[in-house]
Structure 1
Amino acid sequence: MRKKLFTYICSIMLLGFFSISSVFAENTDARTTYAVVWSIDTDDAELFNNTIADHSTEVLELWKNGTIENVYIDSKKTHDVVSKGDTARVMFFIKAKTDEEAKKILDGMPLVKKKAATYTLYPVGSLWLKQF
């Protein structure tokens, strides 16, 4: 009986906690996080590799200001030869209020501007534990 009561009380507390956290998120400048997966959009390795330095600089600046986080690189992949449709070496998470805001940022990046790569956004939500 005590175990059931304890479980019930814990469940109610967790439900209350999650309810409060969603209210808290609505009342703040909360941002949603999106996973960004890049695909190569050219067969021109020279174009891709000439653009990647500017793109990397932009990623670093966005990381420094907190817009981009958790940048992952596949160190086994190289871009000596690129093929349209291949997944690029890097993926990261971007924080934005809406997917339109995220797309606006990403559309301004060098690889997109020069049509060397495209991206796919996957909404992953908010980092709810960090809100408190």
Structure 2
Amino acid sequence: MIFRTKNIGTFELIPVGNFLFGQSEKAGDVRLKKENVYVVVWDLLKPYDEVDSQEIQKQFDADFKLYEEGVLENAYKNSPYDESIKNFTVYFMNANSEAEAKKVLDEMPFVKSDIGSYKIRNVGHFMRGKVN
């Protein structure tokens, strides 16, 4: 990449897990209405095998609802047996502001049940759609 060949910038490779889902049909429309994209990195607060399967299903259902609404652009989930990947889930989220994104995230089942926590970072505008 030009940033590296011209010594303009650096990068860090971080494994994010296995691809779970990409853009929904609504994501493009939502992205056009929102000002920013945020990367959301989820961490479990207790071992995966100690999390009740119903709680996992609730979180997955909430993730999938955001996907269907077009709020989530992409999602990656770590397999619980892969210790090399420290984060449980990583996804890209459309929102107008960090406050708007946090309002949605704070209502997620893992946050409300103290099973997971998240870090959020503005990554600007989503430049490309799904690549086949």
TM exceeding 0.5: yes
Q: Distance in 1 between matches of 2:45 and 2:51?
A: 11
Tell me if structure 1 keeps the 8 A contact 2:78–2:87: no
Give, in angstroms, the shift of residue 126 of structure 1: 1.1
Letter aligned with residue 78 of structure 1: Y
Change over 3 Å in CA distance of 1:126–1:114 after alignment to 2: same
- Say which structure is richer in helix: 1
Q: Distance in 2 between matches of 1:126 and 1:48?
A: 36
Normalising by structure 2, report the TM-score.
0.62
Aligned pairs, number: 96
Normalising by structure 1, report the TM-score.
0.62
- RMSD over aligned CA atoms reads 2.6
For 1:83-94, what aligned pairs fall within 5 Å after superposition? 87-88=87-88, 90-94=89-93
1:66 maps onto 2:85 in alignment: no
Q: Distance in 1 between matches of 2:57 and 2:123?
A: 28
Tell me if structure 1 keeps the 8 A contact 2:77–2:90: yes
Which residue of structure 2 aligns with residue 41 of structure 1?
45
Tell me if structure 1 keeps the 8 A contact 2:67–2:73: yes
**CA radius of gyration, larger in:** 1
Change over 3 Å in CA distance of 1:66–1:48 after alignment to 2: same
